[in-house]
Copies of this chain bind each other. A is one copy, B any other.
Amino acid sequence: MGFLRERRSAIVETGGPPVKAAIIGTSGHIDLALEVRDRLPQVTFVGIAPGSADEDTREFFVEQLEPSMIPFYEDYHRMLDREKPQVAIVAPFFFLQSRIACECLERGIHVFVEKPMAVSFEQLDRLRRTHALGKAALCPMLPSRYHPAFHSAWRAVTDGLVGEPLLITAQKSYKLGTRHPMYTHRATYGGTIPWVAIHGIDWIHWFCGGRINNVSASHTAAGNRGHGEMESSGVCLYRLANTGCAALTFDYFRPGSAPTHGEDRIRIAGEKGVVEVADGEATLLTHGAAPRRLEKEEPLSLFQEFIRSIEEGSTMRITAEEAFAVTDLALRSREAADTRSVVALRSAT
């Protein structure tokens, strides 16, 4: 609580005028925004609406928001017209994310959008062009760079402690459970590479500064327990500009009995040593020194940092440009897996 109070007072000291936020869709991790309600007193939630008529947002509304007297809207356009929010939290069915994000940006509303920001290159191009109008800010729900252990590892790498990163191994493993039918169609879901692997893609992009030449990949829907087209697992192999490479595995095979929903790991190796993150801790092993657990920063909230960046102009660990690059990389990785070919990357950001 002491920590929470400190954070709150820090925000109150530096915060600007009240910020009105609206929620469009509850199919993604809007908890990333809701979890900081207590810490962001200047943010008021002014409404919630489904992203499409067939999305059941009511249940979430009743469970999470009704006591707070936030109005529920059937149509988000009406909500935006009426409430005039400064920020939209956009988490509809995944294939609608980019379209609704564009609509909000065009209205000058800042957008905190579930990843992937787009499920096709066309969607991504449109979103990029709309964002380039400069009317509002855009941040995807890609909080990987704000995980304390991963940030510690990234600091170790950027401080040169392992040398040039030449071999990166990353793992994203999730519990499957029973998922909404939206997940069972590529057209509505987008694929497991853009949905799950994208966090690992974000790490890899971050650790190597986006300097990636091409990608090979593989994925399968086998073992998905009746989830239609949804891929259960796969691997992406990235060839880095420094001649090194990165391997990313992703799967929904984490048993329900496991202690946490996800199991995130990364290992970065170079001439000088190896840094690893597993079980939420970062460990460094270098020549001539015993293995050392790295100190971690206090947890930061992605949404809080987004609000801060809007209010204060501070720079986020993942910029909109980087988010576009990471999303593009996810779509190209999916293409590599679909076509079983090596896909060159347009540009190294």
* B-binding residues in A (CB < 8 A): 162-164, 166-167, 169, 171, 173, 216-223, 225, 232-235, 237, 239, 242-247, 249, 251, 253-258, 267, 269-274, 285-291, 340-342
Measured in the bound complex, the distance between the Cα atoms of B166 and A171 in whole Å is 15
Q: Which of B164, B222, B249 contacts A243, CB < 8 Å?
A: B222
| Residues in B whose Cβ lies below 8 Å from that of A251 | 166-167, 269
Are A270 and B253 in contact (CB-based, < 8 A)?
A: yes
Are B256 and A244 in contact (CB-based, < 8 A)?
A: no
Are A253 and B341 in contact (CB-based, < 8 A)?
A: no
Are B249 and A273 in contact (CB-based, < 8 A)?
A: no
Q: Which residue of B lies closest to A250 (CB)?
A: B167
Within the complex, the shortest CB–CB distance from A74 to chain B, in Å, comes to 39
Q: Which residue of B lies closest to A246 (CB)?
A: B235
Q: Which residue of B lies closest to A233 (CB)?
A: B167
Q: Which residue of B lies closest to A175 (CB)?
A: B287
| Residues in B whose Cβ lies below 8 Å from that of A249 | 167, 169, 247
Measured in the bound complex, the distance between the Cα atoms of B223 and A163 in whole Å is 8
Are A288 and B247 in contact (CB-based, < 8 A)?
A: no
Q: Which of B258, B270, B287, B342 contacts A341, CB < 8 Å?
A: B342
Q: Which of B258, B271, B288 contacts A257, CB < 8 Å?
A: B288
Measured in the bound complex, the distance between the Cα atoms of B252 and A272 in whole Å is 11
Within the complex, the shortest CB–CB distance from A178 to chain B, in Å, comes to 13
Measured in the bound complex, the distance between the Cα atoms of B234 and A169 in whole Å is 10
Measured in the bound complex, the distance between the Cα atoms of B270 and A73 in whole Å is 42
Are A290 and B244 in contact (CB-based, < 8 A)?
A: no
| Residues in B whose Cβ lies below 8 Å from that of A166 | 220, 222-223, 232-233, 251, 253
Are B247 and A271 in contact (CB-based, < 8 A)?
A: no
Are A220 and B245 in contact (CB-based, < 8 A)?
A: yes
Measured in the bound complex, the distance between the Cα atoms of B76 and A115 in whole Å is 65
| Residues in B whose Cβ lies below 8 Å from that of A222 | 164, 166, 242-244, 271
| Residues in B whose Cβ lies below 8 Å from that of A164 | 222-223
